[in-house]
């Protein structure tokens, strides 16, 4: 009798424990499903009108990228808008749309500092008109030494869940508005150029013409290797430092000028001297003025004929 009672009791107890375990499993599974998000950000890039990037502390001055008509602009400190870099701003949206968690890394404010998603972290806000449609905090990144894959840790603002995503978010390290500005001075393949005219003070001006695919100066062929080297660099020339406070009176009479005549249209680059300063402006990007003394811009642009002669 005792054995029968004991076996029966064990079966009942086992059954009750099994019910409890199954219930806890489904409860935890449901809880995980509710807290783990397979997609953190869902935005329609055609509707986005503004992106605000708050760099990591201590440099928390926001970077504002705004839609003006059909163009993206970068807001300067004085409130004026400067032309944005299409490729760099496209990269912002590409990164935001790839923020898809692979796992829930941690939960709770006590873990924020560990994963660098606390108040000192960079975060990005996305707007459609006056409505904020995304606000994500960008934390630390790590490298899996075995797979050599990088990962970033992120969370949504106001959420205590910390997620891991694959890849590296450069947005978490961007700290200056100039990164997103249009730095182009010249753009396009040099193979469709017909001539490059250099106008300098005094009698140092000269013209380089392409005749039957051979570049010449005053009818004499140039050094082909040096010419291709110069033209290739010129065709992808960018400025490095913007001048946003230049006196308009200093931009009246250019001391240096390079005119690129293409099969269709031309590009004019002008250099203005003001004391020790050299300001450079291009018709390709007329709203931007660059410091010609930075990044050896003057040396790259305003060359003499001897550099190209054999």
Phi then psi dihedrals of residue 212, to 5 deg: 50, 45
Give the per-residue pLDDT at 31. Answer: 46
- What is the tens place of the pLDDT at every residue in 110-169? 999 999 999 999 999 999 999 999 999 999 988 877 788 889 999 999 999 999 999 888
- How far apart CA 251 and CA 107 sit, in angstroms, is 57
> What is the three-class DSSP state of 259?
strand
Choose the weakest-confidence range: 125-129, 165-169, 195-199, 267-271.
165-169
Q: In this prediction, what percent of the chain has a pLDDT beyond 90?
A: 74
Beta strands in the chain (DSSP E): 50-54, 63-68, 71-75, 81-83, 101-107, 122-128, 131-144, 149-156, 161-166, 193-199, 206-211, 214-217, 220-221, 256-262, 266-274, 277-282, 290-291
Contact status, residue 288 vs residue 303, Cβ threshold 8 Å: no
What is the secondary structure of 135-195 as a DSSP string? EEEEEEEEEETTTTEEEEEEEETT--EEEEEES--GGGT---GGGGB--BS--S-GGGEEE
Distances (CA, A) of 59 to 53, 62, 122, 174, 214: 11, 9, 10, 10, 52
Which position has the higher pLDDT, 4 or 57? 57
- Ordered by start, the domain boundaries in the chain are 50-180, 190-307
For residue 306, the surrounding DSSP H or E stretch is: none
Compute how many other C-beta atoms are within 10 angstroms of the C-beta atom of residue 195.
16
With bands split at pLDDT 50, 70 and 90, how would you rate the model's confidence at 18? low
Domain 190-307, second-level architecture: 2-Layer Sandwich (3.30)
- How far apart CA 50 and CA 65 sit, in angstroms, is 6
- What is the tens place of the pLDDT at every residue in 218-257? 999 999 999 999 999 999 999 999 999 999 999 999 999 9
With bands split at pLDDT 50, 70 and 90, how would you rate the model's confidence at 26? very low
Average pLDDT over the chain, rounded to an integer: 89
With bands split at pLDDT 50, 70 and 90, how would you rate the model's confidence at 284? very high
CB-based contacts of 8, cutoff 8 Å, min separation 6: none
Q: What is the pTM of this model?
A: 0.82
Mean pLDDT for 262-270 is: 95
């Amino acid at each position: 009798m005792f054995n029968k009672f004991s076996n029966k009791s064990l079966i009942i107890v086992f059954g009750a424990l099994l019910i409890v375990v199954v219930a806890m499993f489904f409860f935890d599974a449901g809880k995980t499903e509710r807290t783990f998000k397979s997609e953190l950000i869902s935005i329609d890039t055609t509707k986005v009108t503004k992106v605000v990037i708050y760099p990591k502390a201590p440099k928390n001055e926001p970077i504002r990228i705004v839609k003006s008509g059909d163009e993206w602009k970068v807001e300067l400190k004085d409130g004026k808008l400067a032309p944005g870099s299409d490729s760099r701003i496209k990269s912002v949206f590409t990164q935001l749309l790839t923020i898809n968690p692979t796992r829930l890394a941690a939960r709770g404010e006590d873990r924020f500092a560990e994963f660098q998603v606390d108040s000192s972290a960079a975060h990005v806000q996305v707007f459609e008109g006056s409505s904020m449609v995304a606000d994500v905090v960008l934390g630390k990144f790590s490298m899996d030494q075995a797979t050599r894959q990088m990962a970033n840790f992120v969370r949504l603002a106001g959420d205590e869940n910390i997620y891991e995503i694959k890849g590296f978010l450069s947005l978490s390290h961007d700290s200056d508005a100039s990164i997103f500005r249009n730095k182009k001075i010249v753009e396009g393949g040099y193979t469709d150029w017909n001539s490059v005219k250099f106008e300098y003070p005094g009698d140092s001006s000269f013209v380089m013409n392409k005749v039957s695919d051979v570049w010449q100066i005053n009818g004499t062929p140039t050094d082909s290797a040096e010419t291709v080297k110069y033209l290739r660099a010129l065709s992808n020339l960018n400025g490095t430092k913007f001048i946003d406070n230049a006196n308009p009176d200093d931009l009246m009479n250019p001391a240096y000028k390079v005119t690129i005549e293409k099969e269709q249209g031309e590009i004019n680059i002008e250099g203005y001297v003001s004391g020790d300063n050299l300001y450079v402006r291009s018709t390709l990007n007329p709203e931007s003025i660059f410091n010609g003394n930075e990044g050896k811009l003057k040396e790259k642009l305003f060359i003499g004929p001897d550099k190209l002669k054999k």
